[in-house]
Structure 1
Amino acid sequence: MSEDLPDDFEVPDDLSSLLDGGTEEPSVVLILTPVAAAAPLAATCVLAKVDADVVLTEVGAVAAPRDRTAARASAAVVSQLLRQVPIVLLERREGQITATRWVGGAQQGENLPPGLVLSDAPAVLEDLLLGSVEIGSLEGVVSTDGLSRWKALRMITGSGKPKK
């Protein structure tokens, strides 16, 4: 049997890398926050230089960064701007979902169990993760496209609110 294997074939000592979801670019990236509206999170993304679409769900605003290869960097900078507010980065890669908690620009601990994160989440999060719904097709989406840093600052401070 060993005659069928190439000479340079090696079995790794640590097989955990096979369970990590591989190194493929994530097909879906979502940043879950407790922010109570989509516009302030979109403004935060602009200040963080993260191009994203943001939508409000029942559990808070969710950002879908467009550069999925920079998911961890996006989570770090958004969480740094949100200071002590915990956020969760969800990534789907090769059929695997990973969830990590971020506070103040740093990942907190090991990966969270994705099933636990999604257990009480609204159905729209699962739909977004599975790719059955695109964030741009949801009602109330706020895009960072065309949003200047000046307008983003006004939105965050409240002076950008429409007058009644």
Structure 2
Amino acid sequence: MSGGQDGSLPDDARPDDPARAADGLPVDLTIPDDLSSLTESADDPVTVALVVTQVAAAGPLAAACSLATVDVDVVPSPVGALALLRDPRTAAAGAAAISKLLKAVPVVLLERRASQITATRWTAGEQGDELPAGLVLSDAPAVLEDLLLGGVSVGDLDGVVTSVGLSRWKAMRMLASSTRGRR
């Protein structure tokens, strides 16, 4: 392939070639308006779903999730408790339920599909706007990123409380003891 430095087209990209446009690109080349379709697919399954909350401790959030029948492992973090959904396919339902429990404050659902991460705000059970995932993760504690990217297993972390298997009675006691501690 040779082309002149004077801006002339290479020999194999002549304008008289019916398969090529005057600029040398194939005629059937289509460039989508939204380039995200080139790197992600809505068909990719969610492999990790994590809800970031402002709840100070893991126990009360796990207890509330148990009462709402949301299966999560709750990890304490400096920014608030992180609810890692046991079944990532239930991400939207889990985020809706958790945000209903925490009506006064928004939560953020982080989902990982293949190599893409999305972040969505939820308030009072309603899905809100999509947030730039990079911005959400920019000041996040390392444990959040490690969980989201699969760098650490929830079983390897300290202070994790699960909502799975908590009896209604024990969940109510956990919630009651956490409210007594705040007074």
- TM-score tier (shorter): 0.7 to 0.9
Is 1:141 aligned to residue 149 of structure 2? no
Cα distance in 2 for residues equivalent to 1:85 and 1:151: 25
Which residue in 2 is equivalent to 1:32? Answer: 52
8 Å CA contact retained: 2:60, 2:178:
no
The residue type equivalent to 1:86 in the other structure is P
* Aligned counterparts of 2:57 and 2:172: Cα–Cα separation in 1: 15
Residue equivalent to 2:110: 90
Q: Is the 8 A contact 2:49 2:110 kept in 1?
A: yes
Q: How far does residue 143 in structure 1 lie from its aligned partner after superposition?
A: 1.2
Q: Alpha carbons of 1:87 and 1:21: their partners in 2 closer, same or farther (altered >3 Å)?
A: farther
The amino acid across from 1:157 in the alignment is A
CA contact (8 A) 2:53 2:108 kept: yes
Alpha-carbon separation, structure 2, partners of 1:46 and 1:14:
44
Cα distance in 1 for partners of 2:53, 2:134 equals: 17
Distance in 2 between residues matched to 1:72 and 1:137, nearest whole Å: 26
Give me the TM-score of the superposition, normalised by structure 1. 0.83
Q: Which residue of 1 aligns with 2:170?
A: 151
Is 1:66 matched up with 2:86? yes
For these two proteins, the number of residue pairs brought into alignment is: 153
Unaligned runs of 5+ in 1: 3-10
Gaps of 5+ in 2: 1-17, 20-29
Whole-angstrom CA distance in 2 between matches of 1:123 and 1:159: 26
Higher RCO, 1 or 2 (CA under 8 Å, sep at least 6)? 1
CA distances 1:29-82 after superposition (whole Å, capped 9, x unpaired): 111001000000101110121111111001000011111111011000110011
Q: Deviations over 1:103-159 (max 9, x none)?
A: 1000122x1001110111111111111101012210111112320122112211227
- Which of 116, 120, 128 is 2:135 aligned to? 116
Indicate the structure (1 or 2) with the bigger Cα radius of gyration. Answer: 2
